[in-house]
Amino acid sequence: MKELLILKEPLNTISKPQDIFNKIKGFKIDYSQENFIVFFLNSKNKVIKSEVIFKGGLNSCLVDAKTIFRKALKNNSNALIVAHNHPSNDLKPSDEDLTIFEKLKDIGELLQLKVLDSLIFNKKEFYCLNK
C-alpha cells in the first residue's frame, strides 16, 4: 500500500490529547473525507513518526489493524495514538469507532504495544475515546 502522507517532525513528548490535536492541525488533509492518522511513539511518549495511513469516504474508512501494527513494529514503536476525522463534523463516536479502538487495544496488548488513545476530530475540536 502506498503511503498517502508522511509528516516528519522533531520529537515532542505527548502528555495530553491536546498535544495530538495540535499536531493534527499540521496535516494537510481533505476534511470532506475520513482520514485515519497514526502517531507512533517511543517509550518516552515522543512521536517517532506520524502519518495518514488510511483514507475513506464521506462516512467510513476501512482500517486494517495488520497494516497499523506492521508499521508500528517497523518503526520500533512502544505505543500508538490513532485519530480520524468525521466529515460530518459530529464528534460523537460511532459503534464502529468504539469497536475498532477496543480491537486495536487488544491486539496492542498481545504485542506489548500500548494503544494510548483514539481521537475523533474536525477542524476546530476533538473528542477522546480514552477517558
Partnered with residue 115 across adjacent β-strands are: 80
Q: With respect to residue 92, please indicate whether it lies within any of the assigned structural domains.
A: no
Residues 6+ apart with CB under 8 A from 76: 42, 48
Asked if the model's pLDDT at residue 16 lies above 70, the reply is: yes
Q: Which domain holds residue 35?
A: 1-61+68-75+102-118
- The larger pLDDT score, comparing residue 3 to residue 111, is at 111
Between 4 and 13, whose confidence is greater?
13
> Cα Rg for the chain, rounded, in angstroms?
13
pLDDT, tens digit (0-9, with 9 covering 90-100), for 81-127: 999 999 999 999 999 999 999 999 999 999 999 999 999 999 999 99
Strands (E), 14-78: 35-41, 47-55
Q: What is the pLDDT of residue 11?
A: 52
Indicate whether 46 belongs to any domain: yes
Residue 36 lies in a domain: yes
The rounded mean pLDDT for the chain is: 91
Task: Answer yes or no: is 110 within a domain.
Answer: yes
Check: pTM over 0.85? Answer yes or no: yes
Q: Output the nine-digit C-alpha cell for 4.
A: 498517502
For residue 111, being part of any structural domain is answered with yes
